[in-house]
Amino acid sequence: MGRRGKKKGRAISGWLILDKPVDFGSTEAVSKIKWLFKAQKAGHAGTLDPLASGMLPIALGDATKTVPYVMDGSKIYRFTVAWGEERETDDREGNVVRSSEDRPERSQIEALLPRYKGVIEQTPPQYSAIKIDGNRAYDLAREGEVVEMPTREVEIFRLDLVSVPTPDTAVFEVECGKGTYVRSLARDFGRDLGCFGHVADLRRTYVAPFDEEDLVPLEELIALEEVEDDAERLAALDDYLVHTGEALSMLPQVAVSDGQAQRLLSGNPILLRGRDAPLPADAAYATSHGRLVAIGEIAEGEFRPRRVFAT
């Protein structure tokens, strides 16, 4: 029986909250960060289109175990809608499929927005990563197929009209839940207003629990490639990392002893007793002396681990 090969890269863990530039794909960004940090593994918490800029949280090492909790968090986008043209991609990259000379008044736009707050039905763009019969929708669209995209429920927590710079454009800010397509919002605004529209500019400014203060410009990281000493360069890069446990800050936290931590790391549940015992929770995390030990559930007076963190 052959031995497993040693994993390549450093066994580091943490989050890099990248300020992704325009015309840089999310997968490309993950590969670049993994290479810069010489990490064993990396992954992102929610795709950001190449034409969009802003927050792309990238998990390194054991932090990849916390990706689902960040993906489920709320997000904030600021985006500009260009009126007068609907495009096949619902952004400025696609070909024009409908056009209009009409332009909406500010009062018309403001009157429309309440319809898009709360839980709404949304049809994703034809050019999206959603799978249709095992194929990505954007692959089918590029092959010329017209796909009937299934609608989905998404939640809009807040939607504001920020400004109307010109008669041809309007700037919005939206706080929304998982799975919301901003490009679909722009398309549907244009249809409802009778003037058509598409996203001309898009920036993500927040992915719970991270905010703009955590953002790291890509050029700052690339500039460190000039540091010749490996140890010095990697230490400088590591200073940009956010602790793995920060991704779970919206969940209940359970502080455990050294002995309890060892039980959890072995995959065993621990008893939670006493007047201050935490309430039942579908998801919670355990720490020991500030170190993340496990993610699990609190049920029937126990903390039951699902994922453990040995490093």
What DSSP letter does each residue of 245-264 carry, written as one string?
GGGGTTS-EEE--HHHHHHH
pTM of the model: 0.89
- Catalytic-role residue among 19, 49, 62, 214: 49
Q: What is the pLDDT of residues 179-237, one digit of tens each?
A: 999 999 999 999 999 999 999 999 999 999 999 999 999 999 999 999 999 999 999 99
pLDDT for residue 261 is more than 50: yes
Lowest-confidence segment of 127-141, 190-204, 255-269, 284-298 by average pLDDT: 127-141
pLDDT of residue 5: 58
CATH class of 251-308: mainly beta
In the structure, what pLDDT confidence band is assigned to residue 133 with cuts at 50, 70 and 90? low
What superfamily does domain 14-72+210-244 belong to in CATH?
A: Pseudouridine synthase (3.30.2350.10)
Q: What is the pLDDT of residues 237-258, one digit of tens each?
A: 999 999 999 999 999 999 999 9
In the structure, what pLDDT confidence band is assigned to residue 7 with cuts at 50, 70 and 90? confident
Mean of pLDDT values over 132-147: 57
Three-state DSSP class for residue 90: coil
Nearest-angstrom CA–CA distance, 249 and 276: 19
pLDDT of residue 1: 46
Question: 257: exposed, middle or buried (C-beta count within 10 Å: 0-12, 13-18, 19+)?
Answer: exposed
Domain with CATH 3.30.2350.10 in the chain: 14-72+210-244, 75-206
Multiple choice CATH, 75-206, 3.90.550.10, 3.30.2350.10, 3.40.50.2300, 3.40.50.1360: 3.30.2350.10
Closest residue by Cα to residue 181 from 244, 120, 259:
120
Domain with CATH 2.30.130.10 in the chain: 251-308
Lowest-confidence segment of 80-89, 100-109, 114-123, 135-144 by average pLDDT: 135-144
pLDDT for residue 140 is more than 70: no
In the structure, what pLDDT confidence band is assigned to residue 49 with cuts at 50, 70 and 90? confident
pLDDT for residue 134 is more than 80: no
**Which H or E run includes 112?**
helix 106-112
pLDDT of residue 124: 87
pLDDT of residue 87: 95
pLDDT of residue 160: 98
Looking at every residue in the chain, the average pLDDT score rounds to 91
Beta strands in the chain (DSSP E): 14-20, 42-44, 53-60, 75-83, 85-87, 96-99, 118-122, 131-132, 135-136, 152-166, 169-176, 197-207, 216-217, 253-255, 270-271, 281-288, 291-299, 302-308
Catalytic site includes residue 23: no
